Amino acid sequence: MIKSSLDSLVAAQEIEVIWHSFELRPLNAPPMPPDQEQAYKERIAAAWPQTQRTAKEVFGVEMIHHRWGVKTRLAHEGAKFAEARGHGEAYHAAIYTAHFIEDRDIGDRQILAEIAAEVGLDRTEFEQALELGAYVSEVEQDIAQARAYGLSGVPASIIEQKYLVSGGQPLAALQDIIRQIKEKEGNGS
């Protein structure tokens, strides 16, 4: 399982993590003009080695592959299904591994169903939930909330529903942020 600075923080302190959906490439987004798409891909490709190094060295997280333009809406709906059945953390870790390490297409229904089964979810129920759009409204609520916070990228953390922490943060930075918030909120224990 992926072990990040957030995982380490949760293990060290009494913190509840609630995952929220955010699409980098929204499902119904119009395609980029070819020249813009090419320039964007080139920027991502140029930055990718540094992204990998930082993820590994600072956060202890492997990022081997980066599949371009994956539509993640169904993966988010699957996450809501998994969370409702107590398998949210395992599902999120498996989705991360599938996307960044195994280079699997997490926008594909069949791959998502395989992942769901791998983490102990009933594959048929999972497939039916995606087919019926059982969690579409929850995902859309998350996306609306992200817009309300002004988020334009991930990772992002919102602490106590009012403190925004943008970008991935090393464990020491997260610990310091939590300490400062506790002091400000008057429960510095």
DSSP secondary structure letters along 2-62: ---HHHHHHHHS----------SS-TTPPPPPHHHHHHHHHHHHHHHHHHHHHHHHHH---
pLDDT, residue 62, reads: 78
pLDDT, residue 141, reads: 95
Task: Note whether 25 and 72 are within 8 A (CB).
Answer: yes
User: What's the predicted TM-score (pTM) here?
Assistant: 0.78
pLDDT, residue 85, reads: 98
pLDDT, residue 136, reads: 97
Show pLDDT as tens, one digit a residue, over the chain (189 residues).
Answer: 345 666 666 666 777 777 788 787 776 777 778 888 888 888 888 988 888 887 777 767 778 877 777 889 999 999 999 999 999 999 999 998 999 889 899 999 999 999 999 999 999 999 999 999 999 999 999 999 888 888 877 778 888 878 888 877 777 888 888 889 888 887 655
Give me the residue spans of the domains in the chain: 5-16+29-150
CATH 3.40.30.10 fits 5-16+29-150, yes or no: yes
Cβ neighbours of 19 (radius 10 Å): 15
